[in-house]
Amino acid sequence: MTENPDNAAPSVIDTKRRNRNRAFLVALVILGMMPLFAAIVMYYGAGDRISGAQTNSGALLSPPGDFTDLSLSDGGVPASVEGPRLWRLVLVMDSDCDDACLEQVTLLRQLHLLLGRDNDRIARVAALPPGFNRATRAALSEAFPRMELLDAPAELLSLAVTGRRLAGGNDPSFETGLPEHGLLVIDPLGNVVMLHSWDQIGPPLLGDLRRLLRLSNIG
C-alpha cells in the first residue's frame, strides 16, 4: 500500500515541534538553576575568598563580642547599653591625644553629621585608658560635648577581639595584628560587631555605617 504523504507530513511536523518545545523547557530549567549552581560553587569552592570579597571596610567580629565585656565605666560606674537603642562608635584612644589624634576625633564628629537624618541613631564614645591626661580629657569634654567619655582598661582592643575571628576588612593591619588604636562598632543590643583601624575613620567607616543603618531594623 502506498503511504499517503498528506498523513505523513503532520506527523513529522508534530515531532519537530515536540522536540523543540522539550529543548526549550530544558533550557529554561537550566537557566533557572544556574544561580543556585553558582551559589553552591562559590560557597564551597571559593571559601575564604568570599570573606575577603565582602564590601565592608572594617573587620567583622565572629562571633560578635559583648559590650559589658569591655569593662567601660564612668567614674567607677559600669557603662551599659540601657536606654535609647543606639549604635555606638567606641573610639579606642591612646594614653595621650596629640594633634593627629584630635584630628581623628574631629573627623569622627564630621562623619556623624554626614549621616544626616540617621545621625540621631548614633552615639560617639571615647574609651580613655588608665593614665589618660586629665587636661586633655577636660579639653575633649568641652570641645566635643556630644561624645561620651568613658574609662577603659588597658589593651581594650585585645580584650574585645580575644577568641574571635576578624572576618573581611581591607586594612592590611588586620592580617598582621591588632592596630594600636581603633574604633569598635556596637549595635543597639550591645553586640560588638565590627572593628575599624584608626586610618579607616573617614570614607571607609562612613560607607560601613550607611550600610549598617540601611539594613538594620533595630536602633
Residue identified by cell 561620651 is 148
- State the pTM of this model: 0.74
CA angle, 175 as apex, 174 and 176 as ends, to 5°?
95
Contacts of 138 (CB under 8 A, 6+ apart): none
Per residue in 127-170, pLDDT (tens digit) is: 999 999 999 999 999 999 999 999 999 889 888 988 889 888 88
pLDDT exceeds 50 at position 51: no
- Note the CATH number of domain 56-215: 3.40.30.10
Using CB atoms within 10 A of its CB, is residue 72 exposed (0-12), middle (13-18) or buried (19+)? buried
- DSSP label at residue 130: T
Q: Are strands 122-128 and 87-92 parallel, antiparallel or unpaired?
A: parallel
Per residue in 97-130, pLDDT (tens digit) is: 889 899 999 999 999 999 999 999 999 999 999 9
